[in-house]
Amino acid sequence: MSEWPDTRILDLFGIEIPIIQAPMAGATTPEMVLAVSEAGGLGALPSAQYNTEQLRAALDTIRAGTKKPINVNFFAHTMPQADPARQMAWRARLASYYVEAGLDPADPIPSGGRAPFDMSFCDVVEAYKPEIVSFHFGLPAAALLDRVRATGAKIISSATTVAEAQWLAERGVDAIIAMGFEAGGHRGNFLTENMATQVGTMALVPQIVDAVNVPVIAAGGIADGRGVAAAFALGASAVQVGTAYLFATEAKIPAVHRAALMRAGDDNTALTNVFTGRPARGVINRVMREVGPISDLAPAFPTAGGALAPLRAKAEAAGGDDFTNLWSGQAAKLARPMSSAEFTHVLAADGLRIMRRLAGGKSD
């Protein structure tokens, strides 16, 4: 019998530990995903910075390493129309940095960025049948969502407000990630753009629990056993942990990002749109301070990043983090470096111990 006070997510996903390693595009490796799933949690593979061949290769590695359930994650945004005037204005805002770096501000802007879920990604889902499929920024079009559902996958998505949670529940998701303001990376908001009214995890989780009938997964600022216990006390059936897994040995991030995480405290992250065009939380650096953290000039998601790419490459080559997106939540300081499997076990054991203690039982 499970020791966990709420087993709805364990039963729904077929996992043993209600800890989801957050999908983190650009940082989560297939090795991390399979290690967390093998440990009994749910490993989640982010696809937004993969093409379909890269996604297939990552899934081959994972499926060869574990037979346990996995989560594959996609962004559900709509690509914006080309907007050359806005790109020009953005480039003009960054021109002095180009000059400072010895780069030509007139060089073509590299494309790339983050790809939304589409038919070709859906083909991969149909071929590999991940047990869980998660979306960020809402849900894809109904026809695509129906195809995912027909594979038998459980479908989950992030909500940053009660209204977003209700919207997702009305569309039949199996569980909802309540993503509090503390969280690192892109906010999952899709019905509101108002960052001033985004909700903290402590307030968001119980209000979403009260508003929907599906199980709720708490995310944002959870990095140790205390956070796990708190999430269950608020009515969550599982937690999704991102930033703390960036400290795991299997995380793949630039050295400057790792260094920034090591010095991150409670008050040196901010929401910024300068790296991609959508608000995301990261450790404050020079471009956030001088151009943002929120800039009206930043082109629509995900196209703002192209103009920063040459600056970032030049700075990182010299060991600088002035133009790197240093995604982090507000609780980085609580994280401890270890392997993903060990961290999953430690989080679970510490969370359970605290819950037992609070319930008046023995602490060990």
Ligand X SMILES: Cc1cc2nc3c(=O)[nH]c(=O)nc-3n(C[C@H](O)[C@H](O)[C@H](O)COP(=O)(O)O)c2cc1C
Task: Name the residues that contact ligand X, by CB under 6 A.
Answer: 22-25, 27, 46, 48, 73, 136, 179, 182-185, 219-222, 240-243, 246, 327, 329, 331
CB of 129 to ligand X, least distance (A): 20
Q: How far is the CB of 249 from ligand X (least distance, A)?
A: 16
| Shortest distance in whole angstroms from residue 91 CB to ligand X | 26
In the complex with ligand X, which residue's Cβ is closer, 125 or 246?
246
Please tell me what DSSP assigns to residue 39: T
| Minimum distance, C-beta of residue 269 to ligand X, in the bound complex (Å) | 9
In the complex, the smallest distance separating the C-beta of residue 163 from ligand X, rounded to whole angstroms, is 18
CB distance 321 to 256 below 8 Å: yes
Contacts of 253 (CB under 8 A, 6+ apart): 26, 27, 246, 261
Nearer to ligand X, 25 or 291 (CB): 25
Distance CA 9, CA 15 (A): 8
Least separation in angstroms between residue 288's CB and ligand X is 15
3 state DSSP class of 45: strand
Q: Which is nearer to ligand X, 98 or 276 (CB)?
A: 276
Nearer to ligand X by Cβ, of 72 and 98: the residue is 72
Closer residue to ligand X (CB): 27 or 35: 27
| CB-CB contact of 37 with 43 (8 Å) | yes
Q: Which residues contact 36 (CB under 8 A, 6 or more apart)?
A: 19, 21, 42, 43, 44, 245, 340, 341, 344
| Beta carbon nearer to ligand X, 220 or 310 | 220
Angle at 193 between CA 190 and CA 195, to 5 degrees: 120
- For the record, the structure tokens of 180 come out as 């509090």
We find the least distance from the C-beta atom of residue 327 to ligand X, in angstroms, to be: 3
Q: Which is nearer to ligand X, 105 or 254 (CB)?
A: 254
Burial status of residue 232 (CB atoms within 10 A of its CB: 0-12, 13-18, 19 or more): buried
The CA distance from 21 to 5, in Å, is 20
Nearest residue relative to ligand X (C-beta): 242
Question: CB-side exposure of 17: number of CA atoms within 13 Å?
Answer: 28
